[in-house]
Structure 1
Amino acid sequence: MIVRTSVADLLRLPHLRLSLFAGGEGLGRAVSWAHASDLDTARDWMAGDELLMRNGFTLPSNGADQAGLLQGIADAGASGLVIGEDPRTPVLRNELAAAAEACRVPVLVAPYSVSFAAISRAVADANSRADAARVAQVERVYAAVRDALGGTPSESPVVRVARELGCRLHLLDPRTGHPLGPSRPEPAPGLVRAVLDAVRERDGRIPGVVHLPLPGGARALMVEIPAAEPTVLVAVDLPAPASDTSLLHHLATVAALEVARHSMTMEHRRRIGAELLAHMLDARTDEATAKRELADFGLEPSDCVLVAVRRGDWAGQRDLHLTLERHRIPWLLLSRAPLLYALLPDEDNALSAVRGKLGNAAVFGISDPLGTARRTPAAQREAVWALSVAASRPDRSARYGDDHGYTVLRGVDEARRQVERTLGPLLAYDERHGTELVASLEAFLRCRRSWQRTAAALRVHKQTVMYRMQRVEQITGRALAETADLAELWLALQARELLDGPSRQWPAADEPD
């Protein structure tokens, strides 16, 4: 058994000249470390068994507030509270004394001439006997790291460390409470509720250490893990002296390694999924093979839609597969500039997760249900068509077949006829002469018929744009000053985008010159 110094041991050290104010029944509490903080939320940075030292002039003068401060650190498992006396220290109230007796947490007073450094040094010296045990525990932690780096471990490092320390460790997504990959088994429902409640109370901002009350009076500690997606490590029943903050953060290092390994696995899976979706879009796979491979990703064609996304947060696109995996949403993702394609279940939570990750600037076009894998190329045209409608909608999303201004072109055949009738001569001219009149016309209309904006978008002189638009009028027989002709040309361009996909990313109408 590891013997630690107690509050009573410190009280007996003559050079510290500590005096007891209240809470004498807690003098037997072990002290692992002495921690100085004047924060009102100091409990959020404590792991338990610490002696909190606070300057007297920062102490609340109100009795209820003094008692609340003590209750907070008692809930965090503090060994005691040391108040450093100075000329501005308020009167220590009866409410503080009553709280100390009720919580059995000693309140000590240090004279102005004794520094907090002297108290910290005394605790460290007194606990030197426990160092060997702590080192042994840290060695177990990093043995798991060494084995994980040396090859593919037979079990996750987190699971191994938990077994060797005789505790429970969970890697969780703090937004959903779902465990991360190999960190299973599933946590108890009470633990998940405690995690979600703690994160919600703090608006998602997790301090150094969060103390989680569990059903039955048990307690757990939660720390944040650095990762692309929010991740926390939750430790339950840590043995002494593993309850100190230093060892907890060593465990967080092992957890970070596991998160990184899991992210690498998911990146490999993303690449395989992108290849599958590319084959489906290009009709390079048969129905039976596609259905079998989709099943490996948890996708059923009859329940899926294809989503085309323009813009959105770049970092969000990069890590979107991690977000979907954390929410347990099956997916295939493929980036084909300027669009991102996602094959997802036709469920609100899937689309909401994508929207939340990519941000409000992203524009979404959603196909009809896929039905069969061989319908993927048609679903791509539907999604791109819906995307052209979505940009003008308040929520920046649209489904193929929704009621909109282009009802005459809901079908592919109607779109093809519109392109041939209106743009056919212009497309033929471009092909014969190697010109870009169709692209220039599209840029001109998307740029609000601004010569300056169009020239910037095409990277040509304004006079060149004017000349090209004159040629467009001559070849198509339509006048850009006529509203009816403009509408017909724009409709034909939208139909062409439906058939072939967008040729490039043009400036949005709301972007400045």
Structure 2
Amino acid sequence: MLLSELFDAPELRLRLLYAAEGVEIRPIGRLITTDLLEPGSYLSGGELVLTGLVWRRSAADSETFVASVAGQGATTIIAGTAQFGAVPDDLLEACRRHQVTLVEVPTEVAFADVTEYVAAAESADTGARLSASLVRQRQLLSAIASGRSLDELAARISADIGHDCRVITSTGRHVVPGPAELDDETLDAVTRRFLTADRTPAVADASGAKYSLFPVGSGLGNRLTAWLLVVDGDHTLWPPDQVEAVHEFCGIAALDRVRRDEGRLALRPLVEDALALVESGGPQAEVATRLRQAGAQLHRPMVVAVAELRDDGAADVAVALFEDVALSVGPAVVAPGQDGLLIGLLPSSPELPDLLRRAFGRLSPGLPRARLAVGVSGETGVDALAGALEEARFAHRVARAGGTPVSVVTSDQVASHVLLLATVPDDVRRTYTHRVLGPVLEHDRRNRSELVATLQEFLACSGSWSRTAEALHLHVNTVRYRIERVEQLTGRDLSQLEDRVDVFLALKSL
């Protein structure tokens, strides 16, 4: 029911004193009756507040009341005139300041008449919506049974509600692109909002436009692996039947996803067998045959990617995420390797590294404690997959050593000491770090000093006392004292190249 429909009821004789922009076409929310001076704590947004003005003792009270109502998102105040004979001017001015619609109820109309009229209208609307919902559900299911694609159904819903619909994943892959794919900046904003929203559906602001975000399937699932329906506009301003139509389409899209996932699950054993043959160094002809059976396109150059999601119970999530990103770059095969890391063979392209960084990077807001590390080899063919796999493993070790939630490292980034450290086993690097910097780390732990941080900045500044002091906002003498203390604890002379290299590598191994 719309607010404008209330004015069409002759028996209520409501009088509109002030209308905020667009309020008459908004659906009516809950009707709340109150005479509290500050009722905001009892409101959640979108309500019509019915009041007899008993709370008003002075003109200043009108500002307090309206500010409390507007602060919680209520849209309209319906005021009775029995208390003062007319609505006070100070209440009207406060409503104008806060953009809250103000409606007057004449003395001879009881509040009960207003609430009963709204309740009856809402009951009739609910019955009509339920009937329309059943019809839509039957039509959607019939369309699925007759072979209609999800894209066609999305186009039908878009036309019905007047808002463009798209289905995407949390990495930004378009399952249903709608009239056109969203640009990267919009995808970044939409996925960030979806992954961080306290509850769904949510509304995202991107490039000056609003998008409503609905989870496809259960909203209680892992959002990292979820599909989401992105609809142009703010759903909080839509009539209930449009919102219900969107939810119904989400249910149909969830069924479509199950069908697609089952197809990939059926292929997964073939993919695992093919990648196991690559890791074991099997005959090239047999490797090629298995990969073709798994869906790889061997006539195109490939890269090997190795990925790891470091989080308890994340194995299934990691596979789903890697498969999703792989689907966005073309035909690919993904499966766990013998060491538990995920291995993927992806079609090569000049844009691939940036695409992987952007797609995996969109997951960062949803990884508050987990770490995702991805290593990517250079371009290769089926005859050199084993070497490319080792190259990707090296790059993965470098990515794993990074300090960001998501790190994607390509083989051309791995050079000098980075490559050296990536090839050294973790336990060896830990032992080396402890032997070189153990006393310094212990000193910092016991005294809450900043020796390690000062040492890192000192080496980054090529041993310059003044630049280090400036970067850390310290006096030069303080920097000298700390570096001398490091030299005492480590037994190293940082003016000597050999000792400086030892300490540098120990820092990089932390």
Alignment TM-score, normalising by the size of structure 2? 0.54
Q: Aligned partners of 2:329, 2:82: CA distance in 1, in Å? A: 56
Deviation (angstroms), 1:308: 4.5
Per the alignment, residue 375 of structure 1 pairs with 384
The 8 Å contact of residues 4 and 30 in structure 1, kept in 2 or not, is answered as: yes
Do structure 1's residue 185 and structure 2's residue 184 form an aligned pair? Answer: no
Per the alignment, residue 325 of structure 2 pairs with 324
Q: Aligned partners of 2:127, 2:190: CA distance in 1, in Å? A: 34
Q: Aligned partners of 1:34, 1:26: CA distance in 2, in Å? A: 15
Per the alignment, residue 415 of structure 2 pairs with 402
Q: Aligned partners of 1:196, 1:41: CA distance in 2, in Å? A: 35
Do structure 1's residue 141 and structure 2's residue 136 form an aligned pair? Answer: yes
SS in 1 for 2:385: helix
Do structure 1's residue 348 and structure 2's residue 354 form an aligned pair? Answer: yes
1:108 to 93, 103, 106: 103
The 8 Å contact of residues 308 and 383 in structure 1, kept in 2 or not, is answered as: no
The 8 Å contact of residues 397 and 422 in structure 2, kept in 1 or not, is answered as: no
Per the alignment, residue 124 of structure 1 pairs with 119
Letter in 1 for 2:49: M
The 8 Å contact of residues 311 and 339 in structure 1, kept in 2 or not, is answered as: no
* Cα gap change, 1:118 to 1:353, in 2 (>3 Å): farther
Deviation (angstroms), 1:448: 5.5
Deviations 1:148-191 (A, max 9, x none): 68x463233843752784745513338677643xx44334869x
Letter in 1 for 2:335: L
* Cα gap change, 1:304 to 1:188, in 2 (>3 Å): closer
Do structure 1's residue 279 and structure 2's residue 274 form an aligned pair? Answer: yes
Deviation (angstroms), 1:265: 0.4
* Cα gap change, 1:128 to 1:212, in 2 (>3 Å): farther
Residue correspondence of structure 1 range 285-434 to structure 2 within 5 A: 286=285, 302-309=301-308, 311-312=310-311, 314=314, 316-321=317-322, 323-324=324-325, 331-336=332-337, 337-344=339-346, 345=348, 346-354=352-360, 357=363, 359=367, 362=371, 364=373, 366=375, 368-387=377-396, 392=401, 394=403, 402-404=415-417
The 8 Å contact of residues 324 and 353 in structure 1, kept in 2 or not, is answered as: yes
Gaps of 5+ in 1: 416-441, 450-508
Deviations 1:45-92 (A, max 9, x none): 66xxxx63377879996599859949977xxxx7x54368999x9952
Letter in 1 for 2:247: A
Q: Aligned partners of 1:60, 1:264: CA distance in 2, in Å? A: 60
Residue correspondence of structure 1 range 214-253 to structure 2 within 5 A: 223-225=214-216, 226=219, 228-229=225-226, 231-234=228-231, 243-245=238-240, 247-253=242-248
Q: Aligned partners of 1:443, 1:408: CA distance in 2, in Å? A: 9
The 8 Å contact of residues 77 and 103 in structure 2, kept in 1 or not, is answered as: yes
SS in 2 for 1:234: strand
Deviations 1:362-386 (A, max 9, x none): 4746353241023222222333345
The 8 Å contact of residues 141 and 252 in structure 2, kept in 1 or not, is answered as: no
2:148 to 142, 148, 154: 154
Deviation (angstroms), 1:332: 2.8
Do structure 1's residue 53 and structure 2's residue 66 form an aligned pair? Answer: no
Identical positions, percent: 15
The 8 Å contact of residues 309 and 363 in structure 1, kept in 2 or not, is answered as: yes
Q: Aligned partners of 1:115, 1:12: CA distance in 2, in Å? A: 11
Q: Aligned partners of 1:445, 1:261: CA distance in 2, in Å? A: 49
Deviation (angstroms), 1:252: 0.9
Letter in 1 for 2:375: I
Q: Aligned partners of 2:17, 2:275: CA distance in 1, in Å? A: 75
Deviation (angstroms), 1:324: 1.7
SS in 2 for 1:306: strand
Q: Aligned partners of 1:116, 1:223: CA distance in 2, in Å? A: 37
Per the alignment, residue 453 of structure 2 pairs with none
SS in 2 for 1:334: strand
Q: Aligned partners of 2:396, 2:187: CA distance in 1, in Å? A: 38
Q: Aligned partners of 1:175, 1:409: CA distance in 2, in Å? A: 30
Per the alignment, residue 418 of structure 1 pairs with none
Letter in 1 for 2:147: P
Superposed CA RMSD: 6.0
The 8 Å contact of residues 155 and 178 in structure 2, kept in 1 or not, is answered as: no
1:82 to 67, 78, 85: 78
Which region of structure 1 is more displaced relative to structure 2, 339-348 or 390-399? 390-399
* Cα gap change, 1:258 to 1:201, in 2 (>3 Å): closer
Q: Aligned partners of 2:336, 2:82: CA distance in 1, in Å? A: 64
SS in 1 for 2:417: coil
SS in 1 for 2:317: helix
The 8 Å contact of residues 141 and 251 in structure 1, kept in 2 or not, is answered as: no
Per the alignment, residue 172 of structure 1 pairs with 167
* Cα gap change, 1:301 to 1:155, in 2 (>3 Å): closer
The 8 Å contact of residues 3 and 28 in structure 2, kept in 1 or not, is answered as: no
Gaps of 5+ in 2: 33-38, 433-508
Q: Aligned partners of 2:161, 2:41: CA distance in 1, in Å? A: 33
The 8 Å contact of residues 376 and 408 in structure 2, kept in 1 or not, is answered as: no
Q: Aligned partners of 2:371, 2:189: CA distance in 1, in Å? A: 30
Do structure 1's residue 22 and structure 2's residue 18 form an aligned pair? Answer: yes
SS in 2 for 1:404: helix
Q: Aligned partners of 1:69, 1:249: CA distance in 2, in Å? A: 27
* Cα gap change, 1:212 to 1:335, in 2 (>3 Å): closer
Q: Aligned partners of 1:60, 1:200: CA distance in 2, in Å? A: 41
Deviation (angstroms), 1:262: 2.0
* Cα gap change, 1:118 to 1:376, in 2 (>3 Å): farther
Letter in 1 for 2:178: P
* Cα gap change, 1:39 to 1:259, in 2 (>3 Å): farther
Q: Aligned partners of 2:207, 2:257: CA distance in 1, in Å? A: 28
The 8 Å contact of residues 82 and 107 in structure 2, kept in 1 or not, is answered as: yes
The 8 Å contact of residues 173 and 325 in structure 2, kept in 1 or not, is answered as: no
Q: Aligned partners of 1:66, 1:143: CA distance in 2, in Å? A: 46
Letter in 2 for 1:82: I
User: What is the aligned residue count?
Assistant: 391
Q: Aligned partners of 1:52, 1:194: CA distance in 2, in Å? A: 34
Q: Aligned partners of 2:157, 2:422: CA distance in 1, in Å? A: 61
SS in 1 for 2:416: coil
* Cα gap change, 1:357 to 1:113, in 2 (>3 Å): farther
